[in-house]
Amino acid sequence: MGTTGGGRRVGRPRAAQRPDSGLEPRAELLLAAAELFTTRGYAATSTRAVAERAGMRQASMYHYVSGKEELLAELLESTVTPSLAYARELLADDTVPAEVRLWRLCRTDVELLCAGPHNLGALYLLPEVRTERFAGFHAVRAELKDAYRQLIAATPAGGLLAKSELELRTDLVFGLIEGVILVHRSEPERPARAFADATADAALRITGG
């Protein structure tokens, strides 16, 4: 067993990568960046600190990522893309009532925002995220918000709303869902499922009526 493990490492010489982490180097870097950006702060974290935390030398890190900004961009997008993929599925499936699909999207999105050991949503408010470098994140986030808008518009109550009122309700629902980032920050121990269900119920109450 020890020989096999040792043999594997000899066969794949990769400087100071942590043994037995089971992660690819890029995933290891993302995990290290998630931890350091949320606990020490983005500006206060050097690329070198990320590399060290991931168990590799700074020079090796540049084989896998271009730098800190790329890691931040990918972490931000990872908080949106799974919900966006699910939203696209839901939009395509009109055999299910829109309010049920909206409820499911809210629940899944909340669970995603509360998932993982680090509250990545806290990174949304970094001043750096306003810059053009993060246009990809803003684009997927806008697309997710548009999916919320379409599902709200497809509900019986949403279908009756004037355009400006539909925009307002969409902002409120989207704000409620993203507001979970702040609630989760204060109470990280709460079971995500019950809170996700309650948030989805609340989103439907905001939408209809």
Residues that bind a copy of itself (CB under 8 A): 38-44, 121-122, 124-128, 168-169, 171-172, 174-183, 185, 187, 194-195, 198-199, 202, 205-206, 209
User: What is the DSSP code string of 72-140?
Assistant: HHHHHHHTTHHHHHHHHHHHH-TTS-HHHHHHHHHHHHHHHHH-SSS-GGGGGG-GGGGSGGGHHHHHH
202: burial class by Cβ within 10 Å (0-12, 13-18, 19+)? middle
Least separation in angstroms between residue 136's CB and a copy of itself is 16
Q: Which residues contact 25 (CB under 8 A, 6 or more apart)?
A: 14, 17, 54, 56, 60, 63, 64
Measure the CA–CA gap between 119 and 126, rounded to whole angstroms.
Answer: 13
> What is the token pair recorded at 106?
């809210």
User: What is the DSSP code string of 52-72?
Assistant: HHTTS-HHHHTTT-S-HHHHH
Least separation in angstroms between residue 133's CB and a copy of itself is 15
Least separation in angstroms between residue 132's CB and a copy of itself is 15
Q: Which is nearer to a copy of itself, 63 or 205 (CB)?
A: 205
DSSP structure class, residue 12 = S
Q: Which is nearer to a copy of itself, 90 or 123 (CB)?
A: 123
Q: 181: closest CA among 85, 79, 108?
A: 79
Q: Which is nearer to a copy of itself, 16 or 142 (CB)?
A: 142
Q: Which is nearer to a copy of itself, 107 or 169 (CB)?
A: 169
Least separation in angstroms between residue 169's CB and a copy of itself is 8
Least separation in angstroms between residue 6's CB and a copy of itself is 39
Q: Which is nearer to a copy of itself, 101 or 145 (CB)?
A: 145
Q: Which is nearer to a copy of itself, 5 or 117 (CB)?
A: 117
Give the rounded distance of the alpha carbon of 115 from its chain centre.
9
Least separation in angstroms between residue 67's CB and a copy of itself is 16
